[in-house]
Structure 1
Amino acid sequence: MRKGRRFGILISISLLLSACGTISTTEETGPNEAEAEAPPPDMNGFVMDQDKDRILVVAPMDDESDQKGRAMWVSGAPGDYVWLGKQVEVWVDGGIAESYPAQAKAEKVEELEMSEVEGADLKASEALSTALSEVDTEQKGVLSVSLLAFDKENDQWTVKLDYRGSSQEEWKTIVDDEK
């Protein structure tokens, strides 16, 4: 009877241990699979203003964009970096305050690489940053890029900005292509 009892206890312990244990397998994912799982950005556009770790991201004014004129103040961007004029993608951490411009906290901000323009000394982001330094954004509202073009023949950038909000004016400037 003792052998039967021991055998029963041994079986019970085996069943108990096997029920508690789990077998896990890990699958390796390639870089393309990891990217496919990443969520799309909540916002993309140009940084039109910066206040320490807050950036104002505004979608460009193009006819194909479904975010035409959308603007968002994003907090939590690295404050030791000059974002002004850069094209970025933003992933939001939490909700988005529905104001104009909208407001949110950044989970991640990523600068998009803008291709270099043949014959230009300045990058497009540098030309836009220079143009923005000439504008008084406090007085008329949010600006959106409607044209950012390099004229190789005249060695200059044309920057056209549209005011969004209360005033629907546009502002255009020429930036010399000099570093």
Structure 2
Amino acid sequence: MMKMRWMLGMFMVLSLCLSGCGLSETEEVDQKEVEAEVPDPDISGFVMDQDEDSILVVTPMDDGSGEEGRAMWVAGAPKGLWVGKQVEVWVDGDIAESYPEQATAEKVQELEMSEVEGADLKASEALSTALSEKEPEKSDVLIVSLLSFDKESDQWTVELDRRGTNQGEWKTTVKDKK
């Protein structure tokens, strides 16, 4: 009888120890997961224009979001040259529902575009060069519909779709030289 009580007591002590350890560890993991969660950006796209600390971010034509050519002027971008770069933007506050939309940046993060084999220029440099060749009407929004490199001709093809007063496409090539 004494042996049975001793075994029952040990079983209860062991059960309490194991259940206490399990609760503590589970709570800690859950807390870390909550802290690690980062919200999705408000817009992702190419910077198609810049005016001091404001950048025009436009989603590409085939981004799969169903919002072809969504555009947003974002004030408060960090200093630097942004035209041609692909970015993600988190907005601080409300988004004005105009076209293009307008907002203030909480955070702007440049996305690293993979380098293209055989190309001297990065895709962002080719896009920036193409945009510098053509001065669009201020009311136009240019949307990237194609950005590709042809190894044989050693040049980039840039196709842009216009939204605004001059609807239509604009296509150019950029020689692959730095």
**Distance across 1 between alignment mates of 2:146 and 2:32:** 35
| Counterpart residue type for residue 135 of structure 1 | K
- Match of 2:129, SS? helix
Aligned twin of 1:84:
83
1:14-163 aligned within 5 A: 27=28, 34-35=35-36, 37-62=37-62, 64-79=64-79, 81-138=80-137, 141-163=140-162
1:136 Cα deviation after fit: 1.4
**Distance across 1 between alignment mates of 2:50 and 2:92:** 19
For residues 52-106 of structure 1, what are the alpha-carbon distances to aligned partners after superposition, in whole Å with 9 as ceiling and x for unaligned?
A: 1100000001173323110000001012x11000000000000000111000000
Aligned twin of 1:4:
none
1:168 Cα deviation after fit: 2.1
- Match of 1:46, SS? strand
| Counterpart residue type for residue 62 of structure 1 | D
**Distance across 2 between alignment mates of 1:112 and 1:33:** 24
- Match of 2:137, SS? helix
- Match of 1:161, SS? strand
**Structure 1 position 167 matched with structure 2 position 147:** no
**Distance across 1 between alignment mates of 2:63 and 2:54:** 28
What's the C-alpha RMSD, in Å, of the aligned pairs?
2.2
Long gaps (5+) in structure 1: 1-25
- Match of 1:138, SS? coil
Q: Does the Cα contact within 8 Å between 1:140 and 1:163 map onto a contact in 2?
A: no
Change over 3 Å in CA distance of 1:125–1:152 after alignment to 2:
same
- Match of 1:157, SS? strand
**TM-score, normalised relative to structure 2:** 0.79
- Percent of aligned pairs with the same residue? 70
1:33 Cα deviation after fit: 6.5
1:29 Cα deviation after fit: 7.9
**Distance across 2 between alignment mates of 1:134 and 1:30:** 51
| Counterpart residue type for residue 41 of structure 1 | P
Change over 3 Å in CA distance of 1:29–1:77 after alignment to 2:
farther
**Distance across 2 between alignment mates of 1:164 and 1:32:** 42
- For this pair of structures, how many residues does the alignment match? 153
1:148 Cα deviation after fit: 0.1
Change over 3 Å in CA distance of 1:105–1:140 after alignment to 2:
closer
1:30 Cα deviation after fit: 9.9
Long gaps (5+) in structure 2: 1-26
